[in-house]
Amino acid sequence: MDFGLQGKRAIVTGGSLGIGAAIARRLAGLGANVAINFRSHDQEARAVVSDIEAAGAKGLCVQADVKSFADAEKMVRQTAAQFGGLDILVCNAGINRDAVSWKMTEDQWDEVIATNLKGYFNYARAAIPIFREQASGKIVNVTSINGLRGKFGQSNYAASKGGIIAFTKTLARELGSKNINVNAVAPGLTETDMVAAMDEEAKLRSLKEIVLGRLGRPEDIANAVAFFASDLSRHVTGQVLNVDGGQLI
């Protein structure tokens, strides 16, 4: 099956670890040139770039904090200059700082919202002028099923992920006339460092919700992102695809 990604130019935020790294590798495996950002995981980012290049694509890693509007603009400019343009933006970078709402600190709230929600705006705002000028582009936002249902102890995280869904649908409305598709992928419980750090009892409770009876893998999310980034989704926009093994049913 031809995804039509050969020679496309992509940015994946949070691409040095976990789901983001799997997305970067999958896009490169389909022929796309991929830039990723890192804030502190420089060795991991360089390892992902090595994998991208081993797949025969061009790779780039840029030290950039997604919370910074200026860093986002810098990375988009640098990527477009080095790759000769930009076709795909995958916003994936995210963190959690869990606490029940009556114990959550202002810093816990602000850091999650700034990273998980404002970070997506920062990169979209930097990339959209390029996409509008060329009258084409793909934006794929990684959200969470907890943005659809809420989650005990995650008011900041769930609010940020719900905001991403609303942001996705709004961008789809704003940009559709310019042939720009904007969609979101909502993972359920997936094998990542974030999930590995979960309390074991909480992890078992979540696992029992999954109809397929297993954790997702980062590659499962990457496959869904690749679909939305490809020509196969040319007539799909404003949608949220749950990749959760039936966890939200």
Residues that are catalytic: 157
What's the start-to-end Cα distance of the chain, in Å?
30
Sign of torsion over alpha carbons 124, 77, 93, 54:
positive
CB neighbours (10 Å) of residue 123? Answer: 27
Contact 140, 88 (CB under 8 A): yes
φ, ψ for residue 137 (rounded to 5)? 160, 155
CB neighbours (10 Å) of residue 128? Answer: 20
SS (H, E, C) 171-204: HHHHHHHHCEEEEEEEECCECCHHHHCCCHHHHH
